[in-house]
Amino acid sequence: EPEVTQTPSHQVTQMGQEVILRCVPISNHLYFYWYRQILGQKVEFLVSFYNNEISEKSEIFDDQFSVERPDGSNFTLKIRSTKLEDSAMYFCASSVWRGNTEAFFGQGTRLTVV
Amino acid sequence: AQTVTQSQPEMSVQEAETVTLSCTYDTSESDYYLFWYKQPPSRQMILVIRQEAYKQQNATENRFSVNFQKAAKSFSLKISDSQLGDAAMYFCAYVNAGGTSYGKLTFGQGTILTVHP
């Protein structure tokens, strides 16, 4: 069964450092997403991406965040200068189409900022 | 903006019994989809069941079924014959079927389900 793959599973970084979280969506999917879940809290939408551009972003997704699909298979989330409050689980998801089809989630990357 | 509310932070059930998790939502849209996702301790997000708002018939998937009340904006999940493997955090989620929200899922706060042997 096809799946969304995220790497690394766990990343520890120093405050102020840049991190790149990587995702390989399911190959025939057209829409890609990043979500964040701070420990013990609900899952929050960060950004959606379609046709090589951002479709929608939340207020959390400020100038410190960027997304890219550099080579047609990977989908990355970059945080330029990490803060302690960026510590969270980051989920990548993809779907064939928007809205009416299932979004498949990766297993998540646990980001710890120290 | 849409909101999703799960008013039960925690629920528990005896193995083989039935439990219902509650979810309410608020939207001005008429065409949308609702989901229940399961998040076990591994923190993987697993789709449990999906409901299309235009369908009156409640969705079922094996031991999982929903009670969808569109007018009341209520979407509860019933788990029958509960198993130890059902223990997890359950999230209710909403997505617009059209408009400018490109597949953005809005999640509730989650309900932790404990299954007692």
A2-49: per-residue pLDDT in tens? Answer: 789 999 999 999 999 999 999 999 998 989 999 999 988 889 999 999
Amino acid (1-letter code) at residue B26: D
In residues, how long is chain A? Answer: 114
Beta bridge partners of B35: B50, B93
The residue of chain B with its CA nearest to that of A105 is B45
So what's the pLDDT on residue A73? 86
A70 CB near a chain B CB, below 8 Å? Answer: no
From A70's Cα to the closest Cα of chain B, the distance in A is: 21
Q: Could you report the per-residue pLDDT of A85-98, keeping only the tens digit for each?
A: 999 999 999 988 76
Determine contact, residues B27/B105, Cβ cutoff 8 Å: no
Residues 6+ apart with CB under 8 A from A106: A3, A4, A5, A6, A23, A91, A92, A93
Count residue pairs from A and B with Cβ separation < 8 A: 73
Question: Does the distance separating the beta carbons of A99 and B33 come in below 8 Å?
Answer: yes
- Mean pLDDT over B77-89 rounds to 97
Q: Are B58 and B67 in contact (CB under 8 A)?
A: yes
Dump pLDDT digits (tens) for B94-103: 998 876 676 8
The β-bridge partners of B92 are B36
Q: For residue B102, what pLDDT is reported?
A: 62
Comparing CB atoms, the residue among A44, A93, A108 nearest residue B43 is A108
Is the alpha carbon torsion for A94, B108, B49, B102 positive or negative?
Answer: negative
Which residues in chain B have their CB less than 8 angstroms from residue A33's CB?
103-105
pLDDT of residue B84: 97
Decide if B50 and A45 are in contact by the 8 Å CB cutoff: no
For the segment B58-79, the average pLDDT, to the nearest whole number, is 97
A20 touches chain B (CB under 8 A): no
What is the arithmetic mean of pLDDT over B68-73?
Answer: 96
Q: Do A33 and B104 touch (CB under 8 A)?
A: yes
Residue-wise pLDDT for A62-89, tens only, equals: 999 999 998 878 999 999 999 999 999 9
Residue A99 binned pLDDT confidence (cut-offs 50, 70, 90): low
Indicate whether A100 pLDDT > 70. Answer: no
Answer whether A103 sits within 8 Å of B52, measured CB to CB: no
Integer angstrom CA distances of residue B81 from A53, A83, B17, B20, B73: 45, 45, 5, 12, 26
Distance from CA of B51 to the nearest CA of A (A): 10
- Average pLDDT for B40-61: 91
Give me the pLDDT at residue B42, please. Answer: 84
Cβ contact B105–A35 (<8 Å) = yes
pLDDT at A101 over 80: no
pLDDT at A2: 78
User: Which one of B44, B46, B98 has the shortest CB-CB distance to A99?
Assistant: B98
